[in-house]
Amino acid sequence: MAPILEVRDVTRRFGGFTAVNRCSLTVEQGGITGLIGPNGAGKSTLFNMVAGNLAPSSGQILFEGREIQGLKPHQLFDRGLLRTFQIAHEFSHLSVIENLMMVPGGQPGENLLEAWFRGRTVREFEVQVRERAQDVIDFLKIGHVAHELAGNLSGGQKKLVELARTMMVDAKIVLLDEIAAGVNRTLLNDIAANIERLNRERGYTFFVIEHDMDLIGRLCDPVIVMAAGEVMRTGTLAEIQADEAVVEAYFGGSPTGHATTGVGASA
């Protein structure tokens, strides 16, 4: 099976600084691929290029075999490539269920003429969207906050809402950007369990930037290591943790006793 996502020899420069240097990697369809590396490794810049927030200086990015570099985020969204953020981007003054209902594009109620002259169509579509939102809420078991203002939620609950929003459309791949940041361990366990369920039961493909090695170890195989804008190594987490070059990249040649269990935990 061809990879769902391919990055081929991609470089991104900011003036005289090269943030990503001739980077190549693949993400297999139906898997959960991890991307780790010390701060400044180029991970977020790479994600921003894949998600359409930045254009590469050179190289190719292919999604389902078609070049996508230069496409805008909304165009990639329409193709099924979605991205969550380290800091959740919720509509704080809308409820959780309303946040979910905002996701699907092309809603007839967005068109003034449709709203005036095809009110029945608008209402029927809204019912369908609400039903889907309720299904998502039930799947993620967040019914207790369904009618809470999203701005009132904890950081971890907001991350769950971000994940829920990806379920409101037919996502083919979801880029998860530090889903564990600022989340307590109990809620993080719930998030991880839902990612596993989405992958197993609904065939979601995930590409994950993460510093939490426990989460990476639970979810991801393979794991890709970046340092200084380049891919250093791809393999299982155990293989990567045993690689002296990776340890040196994280700890500057002075590995601690935590190197075999927490590579990158402090990055």
Q: Can you spell out the DSSP letters for 136-178? A: HHHHHT-GGGTTSBGGGS-HHHHHHHHHHHHTTTT-SEEEEE-
Closest CA to 54 of 80, 66, 72, 42: 72
Average pLDDT estimate for 228-246: 91
Residues 243 and 54: beta-carbon distance below 8 Å: no
pLDDT tops 50 at residue 256? no
User: Quick check: 250 pLDDT over 80?
Assistant: no
pLDDT tens digits, residue range 148-180?
999 999 988 998 898 898 888 888 999 999 888
Q: Do the Cβ atoms of 208 and 179 come closer than 8 Å?
A: yes
Position 122 confidence tier, pLDDT thresholds 50, 70, 90:
low
* Domain residue ranges in the chain: 1-90+169-267, 92-152
**pLDDT, position 195:** 94
Domain at 1-90+169-267: CATH code: 3.40.50.300
Residue range 114-120: mean pLDDT, rounded: 52
77-93 residue pLDDT tens: 989 999 887 666 788 89
Residue ranges with strand state E in the chain: 5-14, 17-27, 32-36, 58-63, 66-67, 81-83, 173-177, 205-209, 223-227, 230-235
DSSP state of 67: E
Which of 4, 33, 22 lies closest to 220, judged by CA? 33
pTM of the model as a whole: 0.84
The answer to whether the beta carbons of residues 63 and 79 sit under 8 Å apart is yes
pLDDT, averaged across the chain = 85
Average pLDDT over residues 3-18: 96
pLDDT of residue 251: 60
